[in-house]
Chain A
Amino acid sequence: MDLASALQRHTNSSTKNTRASRQFFESGIVIYRNNAWHKLGDDSWQFLESLALSAIDNGRIDIAEGCLDHLTAGFPGSSRVQCLEGILKESRDGPEPALRFYQQVLEADPSNSTIWAREISVLRKLGKIDLAVDQLSKFADTFYTDVEAWLELADIYASQHQYTSALQSLSHVLVLTPQNPFYVLQAGETAYSAQDIPLAMKFFLMAIEMAGDDNDDATPPPPTGITMRAWYGVELSAARLEADPTLATSSPSKTRAPEHLPRLRKLARDVINSAQAGRQDVESEVSSRWLSR
């Protein structure tokens, strides 16, 4: 790739917020080798940062170090550069030295949220789950509006089979972003794992309602993506509630089981079937076998 087209590409791609490390690195390295990153103007620093990250992704520590040197010279003491330095340390020296680096930075500036978040992720990577949970709870308590912190906390709890705690974290996520059906679906799946079947079913139905289109007159189109997953969830929960009616009354969150259970189950089966109709692949076969279990 020649320099001109690489430059052209990066002036255009800098606005996109994607992380295609491989492609970014391949064109970015041309600019870097030619020392042409100044030509990107205001974006040049951001380009260096992105190049360093993509270089780390591609295992080219030498390039990342070069970028970091330029950035450190440009912004001495910047917390953003420090974060990049920490990521580089994680990749090059392993988690323990990086953790020491993060702790050192945090000692000087305890409220640096990016470094704090990285420290927590390293703690989790090192398997110090208790410490990570402890820190992450403090983090989420301080920076309450950080949705990703709550999601991460829910993920850690779920990985430890603490589904009730995970559900509590997810309830904060839902309060913070009530408009995101993906989180509702995740809450539903977590509630299912926590044996709160009525709640799970409600969440699945909410996810379907939120992700569906707003066109009221037409019959809804066959489900795709997360709605499909949510319909499977509805079918599964409805089947379990029908098989074991005590589940409906033993909900830990005292959620009332949905009414019209048979109708809902029938609807879920019909919707799933309609999505698989006319398809002759493994997925439809598995799906139909599952429905006739």
Chain B
Amino acid sequence: MTPRAQYRSASVPSLYLDPQIRDWVLFPITLVMILVGVLRHYVVVLLQSSPSKLPRAAIREQRALVRSNVLRATSANSPIPLHFYQAISQDLSKAFAEGTYLKDGPPKQGEQQAPPNPLSDPAAMDGMMAGMRTQMVMMVPQMIVMGWINFFFEGFVLIKLPFPLTLGFKSMLQRGIQTSDMDVRWVSSLSWYFLNFFGLNGLYRIILGGDEGADATNLAASPFAVTPQVGQPQDFNKLLKAERDHLELAEGMHKWIGDDVETRILKRYGRL
């Protein structure tokens, strides 16, 4: 760059934006993105299937671990004497070993314990489909809007930021424009789209209230997020069997708070 060119670019604005760009490109893009976000929120709400109801056996299976956790949590200062504690603890341990709490009943003798296949369980399938549907609703409108901007407004410069920025922002603010010399303060249409895409969440939260479905940075819903791992259904049989060791350990630590309560009371009243 010659000294003269440097002088020119610093003093005289090198570029004028047609006000029509502001009225017919900048505002429409912003407006469309807000509206799409709001619409998407309502579509997601509509698509949300009510949580499927669990049969009794499944609830029981899920809460079996809670039972042992609750019991173990009290063992060091247990409210019940060892006799009752052992009754509950050993009963649980036996039930875990036999698989009484399993949703499908105790596993049969000799049956190969294959890890459950997520595709074979209709309940897990439903959850997966719901996740994919939500993701589609998140992605498709964004792709359409992006295509629309790319098709009609490719290479448009929309606004000039009112503050200087370093060159590092060039790739962020001038996406779609292949000029190496242009001041970083100019923002291209595609970059404006991305700025809106990530920046509008706060606005959605105000419009829709709460942290709602339109939030694109919502990890599971963002088109840029890695597809969330489909929750591997838990193998309760293994979990419960492992829990037996914990139960045994906790039983060893059992101490009833009633053991020396009489001395504590007598001391408190100064009789000992």
- Seen from chain A, the residues whose Cβ lies within 8 Å of a Cβ on chain B are 109-111, 138, 141-145, 167-168, 171-172, 174-176, 178, 184, 199, 202-203, 205-206, 208-209, 212, 216, 219-220, 253-255, 258-260, 263-264, 266-267, 271
Contact = CB atoms under 8 A, between A and B. Distances in A.
A142 B64 CA distance: 8
Contacts of A172: 88
Contacts of B263: 259-260
A24 B198 CA distance: 50
A171 B78 CA distance: 10
B53 to A, nearest CB: 6
Contact of A178 (B60, B74, B265, B269): B74
A291 B84 CA distance: 33
Interface residues of B, number: 35
A167 B265 CA distance: 24
Contact of A260 (B56, B71, B80, B266): B266
Interface in B51-68: 53-56, 59-60, 63, 66-67
Interface in B227-261: 257-258, 261
Given A171-B88, A206-B261, A263-B266, A141 B60 contact: yes
A235 to B, nearest CB: 13
Q: Is the interface of A mostly helix, strand, loop or mixed?
A: helix
B195 to A, nearest CB: 36
Contact of A199 (B70, B81, B88): B81
Given A142-B59, A171-B84, A253-B81, A205 B262 contact: yes
B269 A219 contact: yes
Given A175-B74, A255-B81, A263-B272, 13 more contacts: A109-B53, A175-B78, A176-B70, A178-B79, A199-B81, A202-B81, A202-B262, A205-B261, A208-B265, A255-B83, A258-B261, A263-B271, A267-B271
A253 B261 contact: no
A111 B53 contact: yes
A212 B268 CA distance: 10
Contacts of A266: 271
Contacts of B84: 167-168, 171, 253
Given A212-B268, A267-B266, A175 B63 contact: no
A138 B101 CA distance: 12
Contacts of A109: 53
Choose among A141, A184, A199, A208 the residue with the greatest number of B CB atoms under 10 Å from its CB.
A141
A220 B261 contact: no
A109 B261 CA distance: 47
Contacts of A174: 79-80
Nearest to B57: A142
B19 interface: no
Contacts, number: 100
Contacts of A263: 266, 271-272
A-B CB proximity, top 7 nearest: A258-B262, A202-B258, A253-B83, A178-B79, A171-B84, A174-B79, A205-B261
B114 to A, nearest CB: 27
Contacts of A111: 53-56, 59
Given A144-B63, A263-B272, A267-B266, A110 B261 contact: no
9 contacts: A111-B59, A145-B66, A202-B261, A202-B262, A208-B265, A209-B268, A253-B84, A264-B265, A267-B265
B13 interface: no
A220 B258 contact: no
B210 interface: no
Contacts of B269: 219-220, 267, 271
B79 A184 contact: yes
B70 to A, nearest CB: 6
B168 interface: no
B251 to A, nearest CB: 13
A219 B270 CA distance: 8
A212 B60 CA distance: 37
A264 B70 contact: no
Nearest to B67: A144
Contacts of A168: 84, 87
A220 to B, nearest CB: 6
Contacts of A258: 261-262
A171 to B, nearest CB: 4
B264 interface: yes
Contacts of B266: 260, 263-264, 267
Choose among B257, B261, B263 the residue with the greatest number of A CB atoms under 10 Å from its CB.
B261
A190 B78 CA distance: 19
A180 to B, nearest CB: 9
B262 A264 contact: yes
A141 B95 CA distance: 12
Nearest to A184: B79
A203 B66 contact: no
A219 B77 CA distance: 26
A143 B258 CA distance: 28
Given A209-B264, A220-B268, A145 B63 contact: yes
A141 B63 CA distance: 9
Contacts of A253: 81, 83-84
A145 B268 contact: no
